Structure 1
Amino acid sequence: MTSLVLSATQIDALRKHPHQHKYDHGHLLVLSGPRHQTGAARLAAISALRAGAGLVTMGATERTLPELAAHCTEVMLAQIETGAALSAMLDADQRVNALCIGPGLRVDRHGGDLVMHALQSKRPCVLDADALTLIAQNDALRSDVHDTCVLTPHMGEFKRLFPDTNIDDKAKAAQTAADQIGSVILLKGSQTVIAMPGGKPATLDSSKMKNAPWLATAGAGDVLAGIIAGLLARGIEPVEAAQIGAVLHLHAAGAKGPGLVAGDLPYLLPKALQDLGV
């Protein structure tokens, strides 16, 4: 187990250069939940943009699009009613190169259909929240998880996903899970652990950071999912995206402290990037 410190190469990967245009930084698709349950996906979408994704589109049903349009200025919108429609969109536009699915999605047949088609696209993908619950409930979805996925469970979700894994040693548990499912695992908490199949887990210990406890607020995990997904869209490898995203997320929280709510975090990311030397 190693303690997580970003390398110069990881920091350089966050920079944008004069000859690049928006498509050089990727096009992320974030799938939204139904009407009146769009906040989590919106947090993920704006966080992905703040992390440097060139474009972000939110996919939702026709009934949900007006709600998203009223909130999201920089984010594009696409009508996606079914998993088949998702696959058709991805087949039609290869520039959509990463996905974020789970925040506010809903745990039902519709959500499971979207998760299935998202995974079968083999695009790099962050799986969070409701997507994790659906995978825990469905062995067929679990078998579709691939090596460019990043799963971001908190401990409760982790126990549902890996009920037979001993959690006494958090780092060992995350590594065992990554080896078992074949993807990157970011196990959240005051000691965040990031593991990849066949690798060595890295930890980010925030227990002694003064402002970190204020991350214990609704929506903070959705922001983290969006940051990581935005980095995947930029072409950063899954384990690197998870590591960089965790550090950015923590630095953003450190810039605010008491009174922090999840909606603050995307707007604190520019300061976090500057503090890291980007």
Structure 2
Amino acid sequence: MLTIAKRTAFAALLLLIVPVFAMLSGWVWRPDQDALWLKMMYWITETVTQPWGIITHVALVGWFLWCLRFRLKAALALFTLLAIAILAGQGAKSVIKEQVRAPRPYVAWLEKTHNVPVEQFYNLKRKVRSQLVARQLQDETRIPSWLRAHWQNDTGFAFPSGHTMFAASWALLAVGLLWPRRRIISISLLMLWACAVMSSRLLLGMHWPRDLIAATLISWLLVTLACWLAQRFCGPLAPPCKEQTEIDKRAR
């Protein structure tokens, strides 16, 4: 387990570069950013937002199973572990959000510019919050209509970031499970995707850097455990050596 923990810890540190840099550089979210760049970030964040997040999850599960090529019983066990790791992260996120009750950056901005008290906002039902956002921004020309709709659909608390937890979990699972198979391209793409998702949450006014940091650390803990369990119950993660393969062929 120590080897897996070291590997996933290094990957988690790489993911933390995004929020730590934003925090240390003094970067502050503003709503008046380049519309084209924001739209690109929006489509990246949509790969995690429902219902697209379900498609992403299913596609990644299929890709992992293909890369690892476990037998049916081990593959089913791995599928279960992957699902538990992702769902456990999302469940932990929901519990923590309700306990911490941290406002999103755009909600804090609404308080400053539109006199919408944060505490009053979060005391409302979700449907009423959505209606309030739409009403307050109907004459706000700086905010694109698609971003307004995104805010209306996601009026929950900020800490920690569920999108980050989803993307970081898959990136760290790739490092933990696919590295022994030397799936370098898959790992690199998933790490870049996770970093892009994390950046999108900052740029869209949905999260503070601390939300991303907490989500990444929680993901690391859950993924490290899941990878250890996968190695213990699903078989070796590394491909068999050539000599063992030849022995197996002759045995058949």
Q: Do these two structures clear the TM 0.5 threshold for a shared fold by scoring above it? A: no
Give TM-score, length-normalised by structure 2.
Answer: 0.27
- Higher relative helix content: 2
Where relative contact order (Cα < 8 A, 6+ residues apart) is larger, the structure is 2
| Larger-Rg structure | 2
